Amino acid sequence: MKTLLLNEREVKKLLTMEDTLKAVEQAFSAKGRGMADMPPKMYLFYKKYNGDIRVMPSYLPELDISGVKVVNVHPNNPKKYNLPSVMATILMIDPKSGYPIAIFDGTWITTMRTGAAGGLASKYLARKDAKVLALIGAGVQADTQLAAIYRVRKIKRVIVYDLSENLCKEFVKKYKKLYPAEYIIAKSVKDCVIDADIVSTQTPVRKPIIMKEWIKPGTHINAMGADAPGKEELDPKLLTTSKIVIDDWDQASHSGEINVPLTKGIITRKHLYGEIGRIVAGMQKGRTNDKEVTIFDSTGLGIQDLTTAAQVYKIAKKKKAGIWIQMV
């Protein structure tokens, strides 16, 4: 047996958002039906360097695929080392023998599958007539949120806000032709979200930046930024009056958008409506009326990486991409 090696450039050439949406939908459905073996992600913190790594193993018996992702978060990387804040490596393992069948750069897979999660949450939870998308944070993750959500709803207006106005301008210039719509650069978070039908937040903040009174009835929110203990982007009052859908209880309660309000006793597990996997699998309804506010608390699941990596592996073999080496 041999091992396939793929770098980030090669993965980008092979993976489309359409393929990623299908792969992540498959992952969510498997989890919803109880067909996934996925321990909660494990954290190792480098407090001295303001960084951490997360280890995410998973196994999907019905697809006979298994693997593990190691991903870092180092916010200071771009300025200090000219490196991305987030980098990842994915190891695919043959369940029958334990042999490492593939080693991928997982940075682009992580970005794409996170965007796809927001897209799928919008597919199942946003109003059918949703057409105004608000993006809080104009970094790399905003790119794939737009790419995924644009494919599941007829977006007519995109409003973007970031602390860096230049980043917003670059974002608009990059996507106004690729994803035709009216693009607006907001002057504040409030201005960005107040008229939105779908809101996607992708920031590293540790204090709420979106207030309850700014969100109109019928809005869907993808809370993508909170991915470690102590992080939160939404006003806790918003959580107490909205339909909250999580991706995984163990991860969300530890490091998702709900982690701080849970710790403070502002909400309990009873406030949660359910898991996205059960909704995707058809075991639970998603949005039930056009007035409710829905929130998707995304922490990122190892099975999302696994199904996406499996798709890349399949395409790479077909197109004869990458390098094959004898590892053992």
Q: Which residues contact 14 (CB under 8 A, 6 or more apart)?
A: 6, 312, 315, 316, 319, 321
Residue that has been written with the tokens 């980030």 in this structure: 8
Contact between 198 and 121 under an 8 Å Cβ cutoff? The reply is no
* Catalytic residue numbers, as ranges: 69
E strand or H helix at 199: strand 198-201
User: What's the DSSP call for residue 48?
Assistant: G
Instruction: Say how far residue 202 (Cα) sits from the centre of its chain.
Output: 9
Cα–Cα distance for residue pair 256/264, rounded to 1 Å: 14
Q: Around Cβ 268, how many Cβ atoms within 10 Å? A: 10
Nearest in space to 137 (alpha carbons), one of 200, 58, 221: 200
- The sign of the torsion formed by the CA atoms of 12, 15, 21, 23 equals negative
Residue that has been written with the tokens 């949120």 in this structure: 145
